[in-house]
Structure 1
Amino acid sequence: MKLALYQGPAISGATEETFACVSTQLTAAAAAGATMLVMPELFLPGYNQPALHDRLSQPRGGDWETRLAGMARAAGCGLTIGWAEREGETVYNAATAFGADGGVLGHYRKIQLFGPMEQASFAPGDAFCTFELGGVKAALLICYDVEFAPHVRALAEQGVSLVLVPTANAVGFDHVQRAIVPGRAAELGITIVYANYCGLEAGLSFGGLSLIADPLGQPMVSAGRGEALLVADLGVNDDLPKPSLSTQLADYREL
């Protein structure tokens, strides 16, 4: 199975430019043979846009979800993307995984809200989301969630071996991409796809450095600071000697 991630600049508002970017990247990912493309957090309507989160947020089954599903179906490639979801008077920082047929594989609401902007704009989620992708058990987390070891461990204990993470990580927090994400992958023997923004949005500078970390904590592919579409073949590690993978879940002794 091949997985792709897109690292690019935030596009403010749910504009035709936003949807054109999604369509272009889906087409390119499909041409590279990817089963799933992962895009950043709150790609609709942009991350550092609290006024737009409230004004433009949409319910499940709305125009955004319908259009994104259609794009995935047209490209023949799955899509995982972050967006602002409204349910009644409540707004969530959410992500949805669509299959290559446009069907919803999973929908997730961010549990760990980061900083004053997110905490003022969104309500926290209260449940994990798992689903099958390419014969493996996968899950969604969003940005700050993956920095909490208990969340990732809980997923691994449920048999998850692939975690897809739309993110919006700023400059100054490079340790997340360089150390935390690879460490989470290695300690639990899982693959993590971490799709960040790059560039500047409303005064916030994003750090880029998106990556796909393999079960040994090594980056299968990684980006620099600029726009990039990365594709990795998970099958290249099929012949890894199994003793080299972490056995923490089996060996852990609780005191």
Structure 2
Amino acid sequence: MRLAVWQGASPAGDAAAGLAALAPALKAAGALGAAALVAPESWLPGYNSDRIPALAQPRGGAWHRALAALCRDASCGVVTGYAERDGAAVYNAAVAFDAAGREVAHYRKIQLYGPREKALYVPGSAYEVFDLGGVKAALLICYDIEFAPHVAELAARGAEVILVPTANMKPFFHVVRATVPAMAANHGVAIAYANYCGVEGDLDYVGGSLIAGPHGEVLAQAGEAPALLVADIPAVDPARLSTQAADFRKV
């Protein structure tokens, strides 16, 4: 499978600008043969917007319709974070569309980060594993990927690749440099991790978006500027797979 990751500056509460920025990236990813493009956490309407509750949209709303149209136009799937309104509740969510513009997965962030997220959002309570172009894929969002039990559970359910919209800010450089590749290697899954770059309000993002292979190899990685990454996910080499799951001794 060929995957793409988009790293960009936050639309900062302007969802129309977010969709406009995503369109050429998705078009380029499709032209390069990617099955899907992964965009950052809460890309619609922007992670650090102070208007999240007012701007959040229901699943299947205008943002979803616009994303589906972009996918059809680009012949490329997309995974992106968005603020989801469900009645009185707001979720930090991610949605996946295939190249035909069909929704194939939907996920709500389980591990909310810090007091701001916990004040804004209701936590999710379910994993999402789905077929993406013949490959078993799963969704996590940002902080989720830093918890080994979540990654281990998805691997146990057969996930081969985990697609992760994120909003990782300074000083947490270790996440893009060490944590994500280690999670990939320890659990034998590829990880596509799409972060922001630049400054949004009081947050300065680390960038560093990456695509890691199932043995922890960094296949592509961004710096701290806008970037489009594209990489082929290699086949798993059984001889290199971690045996932690089978060997673990609980004491």
- Distance in structure 2 (CA, Å) of the matches to 1:137 and 1:253: 28
Which residue matches 2:222?
223
Contact 1:6 1:38 in 2 (8 A): yes
- Helix, strand or coil: the match of 1:8? strand
Deviations 1:151-208 (A, max 9, x none): 1111111111110000000011011111111111001111011100000001210000
Give runs of aligned pairs for residues 171-250 of structure 1, distance below 5 A. Answer: 171-234=170-233, 237-238=234-235, 241-250=237-246
- Helix, strand or coil: the match of 1:68? helix
Which residue matches 1:43?
43
Deviations 1:120-156 (A, max 9, x none): 1101000001101122211000000001111111111
Quick one: which amino acid aligns to residue 6 of structure 2? Y
- Helix, strand or coil: the match of 2:205? strand
TM-score, normalised with respect to structure 2: 0.97
- Distance in structure 1 (CA, Å) of the matches to 2:227 and 2:37: 12
- Helix, strand or coil: the match of 2:198? strand
- Distance in structure 1 (CA, Å) of the matches to 2:29 and 2:97: 14
- Distance in structure 2 (CA, Å) of the matches to 1:158 and 1:22: 31
1:98 deviates by 0.4
State yes or no: 1:117 paired with 2:113. no
Give runs of aligned pairs for residues 54-203 of structure 1, distance below 5 A. Answer: 54-203=53-202
Contact 1:153 1:188 in 2 (8 A): yes
Q: For residues 241 and 84 of structure 1, do their structure 2 counterparts lie closer, same or farther at Cα, with a shift above 3 Å needed? A: closer
- Distance in structure 1 (CA, Å) of the matches to 2:186 and 2:75: 33
1:241 deviates by 4.2
- Distance in structure 2 (CA, Å) of the matches to 1:120 and 1:142: 17
- Distance in structure 2 (CA, Å) of the matches to 1:228 and 1:152: 26
Contact 1:14 1:56 in 2 (8 A): no
Deviates more, 1:240-249 or 1:60-69: 240-249
Quick one: which amino acid aligns to residue 248 of structure 1? Q
Q: For residues 241 and 121 of structure 1, do their structure 2 counterparts lie closer, same or farther at Cα, with a shift above 3 Å needed? A: closer
- Distance in structure 1 (CA, Å) of the matches to 2:196 and 2:161: 21
For structure 1, the 5+ residue unaligned runs are none
- Helix, strand or coil: the match of 1:5? strand
Quick one: which amino acid aligns to residue 242 of structure 2? S
1:244 deviates by 1.6
- Helix, strand or coil: the match of 2:64? helix
Quick one: which amino acid aligns to residue 60 of structure 2? G
TM-score, normalised with respect to structure 1: 0.95
Contact 2:136 2:158 in 1 (8 A): yes
State yes or no: 1:26 paired with 2:22. no
Contact 2:15 2:46 in 1 (8 A): no
**Runs of 4+ with deviation above 4 angstroms:** none
For structure 2, the 5+ residue unaligned runs are none
Contact 1:131 1:137 in 2 (8 A): yes
Q: For residues 241 and 155 of structure 1, do their structure 2 counterparts lie closer, same or farther at Cα, with a shift above 3 Å needed? A: closer
Contact 1:4 1:38 in 2 (8 A): yes
